[in-house]
Amino acid sequence: MSTVIRLGTRRSALAQAQSGHVAAALEEISGRPVQLVPIVSEGDTNRASLSEIGGQGVFATRLREALLRGECDLLVHSLKDLPTAQPTGLVIAATPKRVDARDVVITRDGTGLAELPAGSRVGTGAPRRIAQVRRRNPEVEVVDIRGNVDSRLERVASGDLDAVILAAAGLSRLGADSPLRREDLELADWPTAPGQGALAVETTESAPDDLRGWLAELDDEATRIAVTAERAVLSGLDAGCQAPMAAHAVQTDAGLHLQAAVFSPDGGRRLDIDVTEILDEGYIRRNGSGNGADAADGADPMHAARVFGMSAAHRLLEQGAADLLPRE
């Protein structure tokens, strides 16, 4: 590895902004300059609906190819866009502390999503959000949209759309400033995609020890445990990252709290699980469920979190989740 650390990133303003945050932190830790290497992904060039082109790696595949070819030394991904299967030769070396995981509704006048009048046009391209919008307000028209944050905000400002659904994390990372009004959707009622609000810093398994060590300093264990459980739900359901499902975990005084949901595309059905587990000395103890304990290997909290998430997925499947999910 040369003196300059090369960080591969998508070309979008949001991707470059979040990569820039990681680059600045890595420069401080390593004392070396970090250069952003823009890479075009299929998700950036294919303007079809995400539900049509599929969610499995549409934003990540080209970047990972570049990393394996040596065009860069590491990558920064939005974790919610990553498939759960880890490619051979690559490793998630750090999961920095997560920011706001909520979705937000952006409107011109501050009208809440549930109060928008019949026929209002609400823009979003994610199947999960489409289902949630239809469930919250069946009278609105959902418009399947693509594009960066600025273009989506402009469609509301111009009157083309009455509202858009965006990730709070993206707005904060971009520092987006707009006269439009914002409604925060609380996670208890509106859970979001596994890994939303979190980043994944990826490098090769053969990366130099000094780079791996610097990246380890960026890692936030509480975030990694939470997103490990969330992504295990996704993996256990055998669904892609554009499936109409949600999972959010957070560490509390009582243990690791996980809420997960699967939706029918029309929003008419929602299957839920809401459970807390205690990760203690390498074991998961379900809090108050009366179902005993599952042993983890050694004292690895990541394994425990993965078992927890897979168990939640199994319980959703027992409720009939497979009937609501597209297979990828």
Q: What residues act catalytically?
A: 81
Q: 161-183 burial, b if ≥16 CB within 10 A, otherwise e?
A: bbbbbbbbbbbebbebeeebeeb
Whole-angstrom CA distances from 92 to 37, 76, 174, 229 are 18, 10, 24, 15
Q: How far apart are CA 226 and CA 308, in angstroms?
A: 10
